[in-house]
Chain A
Amino acid sequence: MFVQGLVNGAIDKLPANIELKMAEDIKAKLENYRTAPFDARFPNQNQTRNCWSNYLDYHRCQKALDAKGVDNTPCDWYKRVYKSICPMSWIQKWDDQRAEGIFPGKI
């Protein structure tokens, strides 16, 4: 589910082996990765929000999993997706903004 608020609370109570299984599933998915899959949240031609959402999700996922002390390689799914969809100039601009601390999104 996309209900991240609920998941953030629930995932603290999940046993560690579910996180391991998640990491294995994501590893398998990453090995068979061709391109960003269809995302029902963004069904139209304008995929700007899809790019933005995955960029934010990657950095939020990294921050969340680092805070928990868990291996953050499952977050690489979001990285692959935003690298597939986003124009390189946007990625560079946002990376520079994050480095300077002026990034407009909430991470």
Chain B
Amino acid sequence: MIFRTAVEHAKRHPSLIPQFFFICLGMGGACLYLIRLAKGPHVVWNKTKNPEPWNQLDPTYQYKFVAITTDYKNLKKEGPEF
């Protein structure tokens, strides 16, 4: 229903379409970035089952988008296991 009103509105004021597009782009981008932050290794969602989620990652885990100098494929766990 909301899409029909949006389409009618767009037909009557077509010059407002770029505004709609950019608002959607901005809100969508903000939401996606919030999701990326929520999935980050430093966030604890379940204090009883998974209190330290950064310990559940493998050593080649890449959080950043672009790896400039770090060779992620050859990283290994440094410390001894216990």
Hey, which bits of chain A sit against chain B, CB under 8 A? 1-4, 7-8, 11, 22-23, 26, 29, 37-44, 49, 53-54, 57, 60-61, 64-65, 74-75, 77-78, 81, 106
Contact = CB atoms under 8 A, between A and B. Distances in A.
A64 B82 CA distance: 7
Interface in B39-54: 41-42, 51-52, 54
B59 A40 contact: yes
B32 to A, nearest CB: 19
Nearest to B51: A106
A26 B51 CA distance: 27
Given A40-B72, A41-B61, A42-B54, A2 B77 contact: yes
B8 interface: no
A40 B82 contact: no
A71 to B, nearest CB: 11
- Secondary structure type dominating chain B contacts: loop
29 contacts: A1-B59, A1-B77, A2-B54, A2-B56, A2-B57, A2-B77, A3-B55, A11-B81, A22-B81, A23-B80, A26-B79, A29-B78, A38-B70, A38-B75, A40-B60, A40-B61, A40-B70, A41-B41, A41-B54, A41-B55, A41-B61, A42-B54, A43-B62, A60-B82, A61-B82, A77-B78, A78-B79, A81-B78, A106-B51
Closest 3 CB pairs of A and B: A74-B80, A61-B82, A41-B54
Nearest to B59: A40
Contacts of B61: 40-41
B82 A49 contact: no
A38 B81 CA distance: 18
Contacts of A78: 79
B21 to A, nearest CB: 33
